[in-house]
């Protein structure tokens, strides 16, 4: 049961966190500013995945493909054309959403594991194109030194730009998930047969959910290029999709803010553990085993259960 005023309290907590983030760059080393910006980008990608996995109940196992489409579209327009950055910035998410529309149109006709396998196959085609098309994408070398406007050359300015876009996207995703469409999507996740019986077009709602999620994944891809000034085929590879999926699982994939927590932990661990050892994947495997046995509902799901909030659905609901 959500207590009266809890939404207002959450708003003020988020506002306070935003104010702190705005004042951090002048007082912390530039390296930590970069890490925070990377967390924002990865969190946006994880939250876009959570829209279809946690709230939509779809097995979107190759979500990183759309992240890469957005990044490549933005990078190619900046390097191959003379279009202004704003046009390229808008084109990146739109291209990702169009890719989501095309792949999702085929995938929503299947269910559960078959949906996941077809999506992985079609997403891998996008990776293969980026990996092999040397004349356009640079092949396995990728594209480096992508020009961006001079005001983004500064790491501090890039940090603020990414933070603003991330905050706006967060608000938009929250409003979408709290809208009648978002509530219908959650109802489809819980019982698609009953929703179809009362006249809900399940496939259409799922397809729209995929398009929206892939649009935000494309925004994350654009922000990656703003931060790194490069793009490479690994952004479309299934291993990154798996890592993002684990972020949602770690933070709590039936919660709104859980993927942000999971992304922050994963990016921090990958960065600082990588300084001392090259066996990051081993640590990732141990972390995944720990999650499955001790925190199947994720960190935020565990906290919500302890605080007596609305019960968080377990993993069993997703794989029934």
Q: Is residue 184 part of a domain?
A: yes
Rounded to whole angstroms, the Cα distance separating 230 from 68 reads 11
Q: Is residue 249 part of a domain?
A: no
SS3 75: helix
Going by the DSSP 8-state scheme, the letter that residue 82 receives in this structure is -
Strand runs labelled E in 174-240: 230-231
Going by the DSSP 8-state scheme, the letter that residue 81 receives in this structure is S
**What's the domain range around 136?**
30-237
Q: Is residue 81 part of a domain?
A: yes
Q: How many structural domains is the chain composed of? A: 1
Taking a C-beta distance cutoff of 8 angstroms, is the pair 236, 65 a contact? Answer: yes
Going by the DSSP 8-state scheme, the letter that residue 278 receives in this structure is S
Q: Is residue 41 part of a domain?
A: yes
Q: Is residue 233 part of a domain?
A: yes
Each residue of 37-75: pLDDT tens digit? 999 999 999 999 999 998 988 888 889 999 999 999 999
Q: Is residue 216 part of a domain?
A: yes
Rounded to whole angstroms, the Cα distance separating 203 from 184 reads 12
- Rounded (5°) CA angle 49-54-60: 45
How many other C-beta atoms are found inside a 10 Å radius of the C-beta of residue 90? Answer: 16
User: pTM for this one?
Assistant: 0.90
Q: Is residue 66 part of a domain?
A: yes
Rounded to whole angstroms, the Cα distance separating 304 from 263 reads 19
Q: Which tokens in the block code for residue 37? A: 């910006």
Rounded to whole angstroms, the Cα distance separating 29 from 51 reads 34
Q: Is residue 259 part of a domain?
A: no
Over the chain (320 residues), what is each successive 10-residue block's mean pLDDT? Answer: 51 80 89 93 95 89 92 93 90 96 88 81 88 88 87 87 95 93 92 89 92 96 94 89 89 87 90 79 81 81 70 39
Rounded to whole angstroms, the Cα distance separating 176 from 168 reads 12
């Amino acid at each position: 049961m959500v207590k009266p005023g809890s939404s207002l309290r959450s708003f003020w907590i988020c506002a306070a966190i935003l104010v702190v983030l705005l004042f951090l760059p002048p007082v912390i080393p530039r390296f930590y500013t970069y890490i925070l910006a990377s967390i924002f980008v990865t969190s946006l990608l994880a939250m876009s995945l959570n829209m279809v996995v946690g709230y939509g109940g779809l097995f979107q196992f190759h979500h990183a493909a759309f992240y890469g489409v957005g990044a490549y579209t933005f990078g190619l327009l900046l390097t191959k054309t003379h279009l202004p950055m704003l046009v390229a910035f808008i084109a990146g998410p739109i291209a990702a959403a169009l890719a989501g529309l095309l792949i999702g149109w085929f995938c929503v006709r299947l269910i559960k594991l078959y949906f996941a396998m077809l999506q992985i196959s079609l997403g891998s085609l996008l990776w293969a194109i980026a990996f092999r098309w040397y004349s356009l994408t640079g092949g396995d070398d990728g594209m480096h030194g992508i020009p961006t406007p001079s005001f983004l050359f500064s790491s501090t300015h890039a940090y603020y730009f990414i933070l603003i876009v991330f905050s706006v996207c967060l608000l938009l995703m929250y409003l979408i998930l709290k809208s009648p469409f978002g509530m219908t999507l959650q109802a489809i996740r819980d019982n698609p047969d009953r929703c179809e019986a009362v006249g809900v077009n399940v496939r259409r709602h799922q397809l729209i959910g995929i398009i929206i999620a892939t649009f935000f994944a494309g925004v994350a891809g654009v922000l990656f290029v703003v931060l790194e000034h490069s793009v490479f085929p690994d952004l479309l590879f299934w291993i990154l999709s798996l890592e993002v999926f684990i972020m949602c699982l770690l933070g709590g994939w039936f919660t709104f803010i859980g993927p942000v927590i999971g992304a922050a932990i994963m990016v921090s661990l990958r960065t600082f553990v990588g300084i001392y050892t090259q066996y990051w994947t081993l640590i990732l495997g141990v972390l995944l085993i720990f999650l499955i046995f001790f925190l199947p509902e994720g960190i935020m799901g565990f906290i919500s259960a302890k605080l007596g909030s609305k019960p968080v659905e377990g993993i069993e609901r997703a794989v029934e």
